[in-house]
Structure 1
């Protein structure tokens, strides 16, 4: 069953670590404590800070004995991330901390495999947790009070968190079937297409659908890099719009990088490349004044991409596809790229679409393995989904 690792800075959070470890032991789980502090611990621990610090690329001296707190925290974060990768008996990991501790502990948690229980009790859990969770499956639990000594409320919070990790570690999810997994990208405006594709492939594949919100695409590509995907059907590449045009749900410059590195079968398309995402209307940058906007909901505003922008997006995609030596089929739906980009729709713009399509065709160096397929269909037509499925089966 492995062990539940309780992680904290034992120099300042020792009392809380000991209490949390006791809760988990009382629930019947095997426990090991890890100190990621940079000063003398207040309690005995199973894994010392010195042992963790030794995993820093520059050795323990790059972590311990440093007066500057920021440098010490950064050093221990790197060391714990490297140390976490060496653990092979993790039934679960739970951490507790403030700002520094949260940064250190989640750096290690992010290196653990998906699916393993990871719980972080943090004073930062009710704010912007993106820097700590990133594209991992860490569960953030608000500490409510500062982690500065036990009190009647902190005992309850830590008790509940301990019971949660003990339950997860003691009753792991059943093993999945042996069908190979594929990644698919979807947005609300491409849902009919991606749903139809998944329905047609689910008998033979474990279909993992990712919401194309920036983190969705990054997660999918992380799984590809980790050899957890047998292929990708990337219908919704909209995150590239936000990357290039300053939207709030951007990809990184490494979008499609995992496809190039792994060479796994790839079917892509231009889903939702007609839009850039912003929050409420007053968050749209001033230099976009006068543009066509669509209120998706009270918190999300979409901006139609222009002819010039679509040409830029198409060239960017084409350049990335040229780096892919694995089998690639890139499908172009000539009658529209989203539910809004349809004749009579809010974002219908034949000229912008044409600029996008022509830029892709002009940039991609087509070979027997890398092909562009133009279809006289809308992206949400049932026939387009059928064509995507056929293309994937051809190269998988």
Structure 2
């Protein structure tokens, strides 16, 4: 626990000096040490920052003169974002900061998102933004533990409305830095993806079995940002293995749903050398906001309202064939040991016979395309049973245990238990 957190405050001091100076005072009042990082380009702040714009440009391998010469605000801020991210990461690696808070409109938010992605899970990241929670921010730009707050009343100068927001942000980041616990690594970490516990139930059995083998198990809820978190940690090689059994976000992305975790879903583990066992859980469903009309192209498909936020329809057989082909392409690009389990008996709880999303012809189309689409070099196991069956869990554990025995997956912290 850090008793006197050192908080990096990021913003354009030439245009937002009053706000940033207010934030500096609030960080001090909350018991933190403010450290100013200026990302101005054309002007200079009326205060002397600990890290000025020239240091930011230099961290990007450039200079302010060269950045100004670009003559393009988007290009200029992109270079400054690269410099701010590199400089912030270096400060963190050197133990000089414990968290950061950034302030901005679309430009400042764009930069701050890169800074947040440069820092590992557990380092407090707070962005005060005029576009907080907006769909302008794609999922792949959102760091795993990013915190945002809307900069209400923050267009021009200080006022009581924006001061209420800025003071909350400063108190929040200081408090988070004081209380934050970084993820431990006493045991190798295994990731499991799932869509809740009613739709996909394998984790109920898998989690204790893996824990008995000496692994820490982290389950990700694949409702957009859960898959984003899995991908981000996999990209940082934060897992000993990934059991990616819920690919519904991939289906959502291909169908144009906003419930997406980005175009790189099912890619980062394989690209970063993390062994992965994959299954097609819930790829038959497409999500959309309940409070919006059903998309016209899905008007005649089976519909389920999960709650007032989230509703689902099912995709037809041809769409499922397209999803199967996409899964095959992503598996083929993996540079790490990869296995694929195809549960031909069903891929989510409500596609069983007698359930509202039971569509055997569409499932058969997916199974047929998937059989042909698994690339050479990928270990392929087909079972006749449902994904929520004990047979599926046993198949996954058999592959996992064999890979541990062969040294593909790092051994757990205790002797493996017999299955």
Structure 1 length-normalised TM: 0.89
Instruction: Kindly indicate whether the alpha-carbon contact (under 8 Å) linking 2:235 and 2:268 is maintained by their aligned counterparts in 1.
Output: yes
| 1:278 equivalent in alignment to 2:278 | no
**1:311-330 counterparts in 2 under 5 A?**
311-330=321-340
Q: 1:91 to 1:323 in 2, by over 3 A?
A: same
Give the secondary structure class of the aligned counterpart of 1:303. strand
Give the equivalent residue in structure 2 for 1:387: 395
Q: Give CA deviations for 1:76-112 in whole Å, capped at 9, x if unaligned.
A: 2333233333222220101223332222223212211
Determine which of 76, 80, 97 is the counterpart of 1:76: 80
**1:288-367 counterparts in 2 under 5 A?**
288-367=298-377
Structure 2 length-normalised TM: 0.84
TM-superposed CA distance for 1:70, in Å, is: 4.2
Alignment size in residue pairs: 394
Distance in 2 (CA, whole Å) between partners of 1:281 and 1:151 is 34
| 1:191 equivalent in alignment to 2:200 | yes
Give the equivalent residue in structure 1 for 2:210: 201
Give the equivalent residue in structure 1 for 2:52: 48
Distance in 1 (CA, whole Å) between partners of 2:346 and 2:313 is 16
TM-superposed CA distance for 1:293, in Å, is: 2.7
Instruction: Kindly indicate whether the alpha-carbon contact (under 8 Å) linking 1:318 and 1:361 is maintained by their aligned counterparts in 2.
Output: no
Q: 1:104 to 1:371 in 2, by over 3 A?
A: closer
Distance in 1 (CA, whole Å) between partners of 2:202 and 2:87 is 43
Determine which of 44, 48, 65 is the counterpart of 1:61: 65
Distance in 2 (CA, whole Å) between partners of 1:3 and 1:321 is 43
Instruction: Kindly indicate whether the alpha-carbon contact (under 8 Å) linking 1:225 and 1:262 is maintained by their aligned counterparts in 2.
Output: yes
Deviates more, 1:55-64 or 1:339-348: 55-64
TM-superposed CA distance for 1:10, in Å, is: 0.8
Instruction: Kindly indicate whether the alpha-carbon contact (under 8 Å) linking 1:122 and 1:143 is maintained by their aligned counterparts in 2.
Output: yes
Give the equivalent residue in structure 2 for 1:231: 241
The runs of 5 or more residues in structure 2 that have no matched partner are 404-408, 410-419
Instruction: Kindly indicate whether the alpha-carbon contact (under 8 Å) linking 1:125 and 1:140 is maintained by their aligned counterparts in 2.
Output: yes
Give the secondary structure class of the aligned counterpart of 2:264. coil
Q: 1:121 to 1:331 in 2, by over 3 A?
A: same
Give the equivalent residue in structure 2 for 1:220: 230
Determine which of 120, 134, 137 is the counterpart of 2:142: 134
Q: Give CA deviations for 1:253-280 in whole Å, capped at 9, x if unaligned.
A: 4333223323322111110012122223
Instruction: Kindly indicate whether the alpha-carbon contact (under 8 Å) linking 2:241 and 2:274 is maintained by their aligned counterparts in 1.
Output: yes
Q: 1:70 to 1:324 in 2, by over 3 A?
A: closer
TM-superposed CA distance for 1:131, in Å, is: 4.4
Give the secondary structure class of the aligned counterpart of 2:109. helix
Give the secondary structure class of the aligned counterpart of 1:185. strand
Distance in 1 (CA, whole Å) between partners of 2:335 and 2:79 is 38
Instruction: Kindly indicate whether the alpha-carbon contact (under 8 Å) linking 1:194 and 1:235 is maintained by their aligned counterparts in 2.
Output: no
TM-superposed CA distance for 1:328, in Å, is: 2.5
Q: Give CA deviations for 1:170-214 in whole Å, capped at 9, x if unaligned.
A: 333266251111111111354322233223223422222222234
Give the equivalent residue in structure 1 for 2:152: 144
CA RMSD of aligned residues (A): 2.7
